[in-house]
Structure 1
Amino acid sequence: MMSLIFQKYLQYHLRLANLMWSSPYDLDYAKGLVRRLPRGGRRSRLYSVQLVIFTAYVAGMVRWEVWGDGSADLKLQCMAIVPIFVMFGILGWIWQGDMAAVQLFNSMCSLEMEFFRKFQPREMKIRTSTKGVEHFLQIIIVTVFMCPVFNAIFVLYNPCQPPFLGVMTNFCEDGTWSESLLAALLRLPAMVDFWMSFVCNTSGGVFLTMLYAACDASFLEYLDEVWRLVDFHGRNQETRVRPTE
């Protein structure tokens, strides 16, 4: 059942990503399967452009972390943020060209629908681990929206908040935003960081995590059901051939 349960979360996530055209995939609502957008189309090209900009943004983060001005304690604190952006940037490029995760999810959905068609779905019981994966997906969905908002609030309060856009520019001097540009550019870093955080969360890394978690849980659930049915039919067969005393 996990793939079918996951469809609603994936549908919500894809809709959120498609608000800013930050995903090369869409959902086929008729079949409930993920489909790749045509390569060379407007949305696919825009996604590639956003991914290039996001890669440059992440490179700026890494540059500040290695060579930028800042105390060792501050850079150590930022080590919890920078690797996440780097990892999601790499996964975003993988998400653009590798369809293995999407094909795996589509196969699991087809397998579950065929399984439900042949057997009685009312007898299906959701495993405890499957419920845990579902709660994990719920947390991810909330995080995808809340993290960009919190990042924008922090940068709006302090435009020189590391390791975000402000510290990558020459407008920050000793952790203070330039007074001459404060009125004109106060909101610019916050909006850019909000956009980049949104692209980070919807460009592929979170999708891959959700897809593989759902497919793994679905496969384990499927094996449990197959074992239960085999065991049930095995006991029935033993009962039939057992000689009567």
Structure 2
Amino acid sequence: MLTTSYKSLLIHHLKICKLLQCTWARWDANLGQIVPRNGSKLGLLYQKFQLMAGLLYSMGITLKISKGKDSIAEKAQGLVFLMLFFITLLARWYWPRLGVLNEPCRMLNACLRFEKVLIKEHPGRHPSLLDKLMVAFLQLLETTAILIPTIVIAIQLHNPCALPFLGSLSHYCSKGIWTAPPDWVHVFMLTTDFWIWLHFIYDGSFYIIYAFMVGIVCMVDYLEYFEKMALEIQNSGSSRASLEEHLDKVLHTYKCLRLLEKTINHAMKGQLVPAMIGVCPQIQVFSMFVCIKLYSKIPMPGFLIFPLVMFDSSVNNLVIETLAAKVNTNSVKFLSDLNRGLKSFPNKSSHRKEMRACTAAKIQFGQNFVDKGTPLVIENFCFNQTVSLLLLNSRNN
């Protein structure tokens, strides 16, 4: 659950974002939730400048990769970084406004308020094995978010013309040959690259980690909790009055869960889910290609980022999407178990009518939703595209 497993990581991430002047939110210990950060119009203007700078940066490197005459190896390396940048840009593209929280932060607050009720009813609940594994994976993602800006600088120090960074876009790099600029210009270019990558990777990862991944895991946790409530109805030997009281509580709580699911989908389906389902597989494809074919052409420590990114994207495509599919399958199972517990009630009873009105929860993207076949379809796509790239590269050579 969010309050028992992820809250300390959430607070830590928000504190670092405050130091970097990126995410327009902070943690309020008194309220126990995320609130808008105190700021000025100048700070708000700085936030908007960050977003526009990131958009221009991504457009520049896209044109360089598509129109440039670089080798396939250089373009593949550049595409991995471009997609990493694009997915974080898309994840954090919430136009800041003074005193207003964006949708992912409001969704996290809704989860925190919802869990206060659950914790009061079950104060001794401990994090599950899934929660512990997800915490370990999130810590790995935090490490990746810190390493990427550092490795960007390491790659440029070894090869200033490396795609897709500012050196390759400047006139100091012509046909892959670097003409050394004045020292202050080179330092300025490196600092600008580091600033852009640090802000976007770390700020964008906040929404990817806590709005997308943690939101999905929390929904799976909540559904497991409600499944136990449904089993209690089936195994209950209590009187009819106490059974009806317990059933009222279960149905009311499930309606609250459905409202929370609507909040989560509203916060994620516009940007986060399309980014993670649409762009993350492409990151896996090109990082796999780089690891298999270009390991000898990319010097250390720059090469280290590609296996790490490949692992992170693979876990998201296979594990996180499987958990997203479990939201729907567990919800269907929960409603089926609850329906069996209502067989002793008449067909026209209010409880049976409420039960028929309940629908299964799902993680949506557009008009579709993540089902149990989605992760396998994504992985099949990734492997097919990687093999196609390897064959294309061998023919060109």
Q: TM-score range by the shorter chain?
A: 0.7 to 0.9
Question: Quick one: percent identity of the two aligned structures?
Answer: 19
2:168 matches 1:167: yes
RMSD value, Cα: 2.4
Give, in whole Å, the separation in 1 of the partners of 2:80 and 2:33: 35
Name the structure 1 match of 2:19.
19
Conserved in 2, the CA contact under 8 Å of 1:23 and 1:202?
no
2:97 matches 1:67: no
Give, in whole Å, the separation in 2 of the partners of 1:145 and 1:229: 42
Conserved in 2, the CA contact under 8 Å of 1:33 and 1:109?
yes
Q: TM-score, normalised by structure 2?
A: 0.54
Give, in whole Å, the separation in 2 of the partners of 1:146 and 1:160: 20
Give, in whole Å, the separation in 1 of the partners of 2:229 and 2:196: 49
Structure 2 residue identity aligned to 1:206: S
Q: What's the secondary structure of 1:190's corresponding residue?
A: helix
Name the structure 2 match of 1:134.
135
Name the structure 2 match of 1:102.
105
- Counting matched residue pairs gives 236
Give, in whole Å, the separation in 2 of the partners of 1:95 and 1:102: 13
CA 26–41 in structure 1, closer or farther in 2 if over 3 Å, else same = farther
Unaligned runs of 5+ in 2: 241-397
2:72 matches 1:52: no
Give, in whole Å, the separation in 2 of the partners of 1:19 and 1:156: 26
* TM-aligned CA deviation for residue 185 of structure 1: 2.9
Q: What's the secondary structure of 1:13's corresponding residue?
A: helix
Residue-by-residue CA offset, 1:110-155 (whole Å, 9 max, x unaligned): 11122111x2322x24333222322221112112211111112222
Conserved in 1, the CA contact under 8 Å of 2:85 and 2:201?
no
Name the structure 2 match of 1:115.
118
Name the structure 1 match of 2:208.
209
The farther-off stretch of 14-23 and 33-42 is: 33-42
Give, in whole Å, the separation in 2 of the partners of 1:44 and 1:11: 22
Q: TM-score, normalised by structure 1?
A: 0.85
Name the structure 1 match of 2:341.
none
2:45 matches 1:42: no
Name the structure 2 match of 1:145.
146
The farther-off stretch of 92-101 and 125-134 is: 92-101
Give, in whole Å, the separation in 1 of the partners of 2:239 and 2:23: 56
For CA contacts below 8 A with separation 6 or more, give which structure has more relative contact order.
1
Give, in whole Å, the separation in 1 of the partners of 2:57 and 2:122: 51
Give, in whole Å, the separation in 1 of the partners of 2:145 and 2:76: 24
Give, in whole Å, the separation in 1 of the partners of 2:73 and 2:215: 40
Q: What's the secondary structure of 2:94's corresponding residue?
A: helix
Structure 1 residue identity aligned to 2:103: A
* TM-aligned CA deviation for residue 91 of structure 1: 2.3
Give, in whole Å, the separation in 2 of the partners of 1:5 and 1:127: 9
After TM superposition, the structure 1 = structure 2 runs for residues 180-219 of structure 1, keeping only pairs within 5 Å, are 181-203=181-203, 205-210=204-209, 211-219=211-219
* TM-aligned CA deviation for residue 39 of structure 1: 8.0
Unaligned runs of 5+ in 1: none
Conserved in 1, the CA contact under 8 Å of 2:161 and 2:177?
yes
Q: What's the secondary structure of 1:26's corresponding residue?
A: strand
Runs of 4+ in 1 over 4 A off after TM superposition: 95-98
Structure 2 residue identity aligned to 1:220: V
Structure 1 residue identity aligned to 2:115: E
* TM-aligned CA deviation for residue 239 of structure 1: 6.8
Name the structure 1 match of 2:28.
28
CA 95–219 in structure 1, closer or farther in 2 if over 3 Å, else same = farther
Structure 1 residue identity aligned to 2:114: L
Q: What's the secondary structure of 2:35's corresponding residue?
A: strand
Give, in whole Å, the separation in 2 of the partners of 1:51 and 1:33: 25
